[in-house]
Amino acid sequence: MRKGNQVKLTGKYPSCGQEGIVKYSWERMFRHITPEEVQAWRDSPESKGITCAGETKLPPTCAGVDYEGGTILRPEREITKEEEIKLSDDTFTVVRARCAPKLTYRKWTGMTLLRNNRTGEEGYIHRDRTQVIK
């Protein structure tokens, strides 16, 4: 995988939901919090007080990025071996193929920085949850 490649995310381990809709386990994608979001958190009631351990509350450092994963409708039959892994409906462009961002007050290794082609939003995800498309 290289900078500029087009990739899709992989969803694994389907579990049948209601009415035969199969849902996949999608990896979370994270981005850094902007200074405006940190200030909004500081002004909110959630930042006031102390934790159950008696320490002051720390501001969040990352937020989730939404993307279209996908589900399939299989009302009448079992999941086949080929359907165990599903590629995301959204496509992404690789901004940084290898990086170790500092998220949630610690360093995360084995990550890649992707830009969603539909929304333009960037986020970090584990490299092994991506698949290069032609």
Instruction: Note the pLDDT tens digit of each residue in 94-124.
Output: 999 999 999 888 999 999 999 999 999 999 9
Asked whether residue 1 is assigned to any structural domain, the reply reads: no
Asked whether residue 43 is assigned to any structural domain, the reply reads: yes
- Indicate the pTM of the whole model: 0.84
Give the residue numbers spanning the domain of 22. 6-132
What is the pLDDT of the chain when averaged over all its residues? 88
Kindly state the average pLDDT of the residues 122-130: 94
Quote the number of domains for the chain: 1
22 Cβ contact list (under 8 Å, min separation 6): 14, 15, 16, 71, 72, 73, 74, 79, 83
Could you count the other beta carbons within 10 Å of the beta carbon of residue 46?
Answer: 11
Kindly state the average pLDDT of the residues 29-35: 94
46 vs 19, which has greater pLDDT? Answer: 46
Asked whether residue 63 is assigned to any structural domain, the reply reads: yes
Asked whether residue 41 is assigned to any structural domain, the reply reads: yes
**Shortest CA distance to 11 belongs to which of 87, 75, 80?**
87
Place of tokens 């940084």: 96
Kindly state the average pLDDT of the residues 78-106: 88
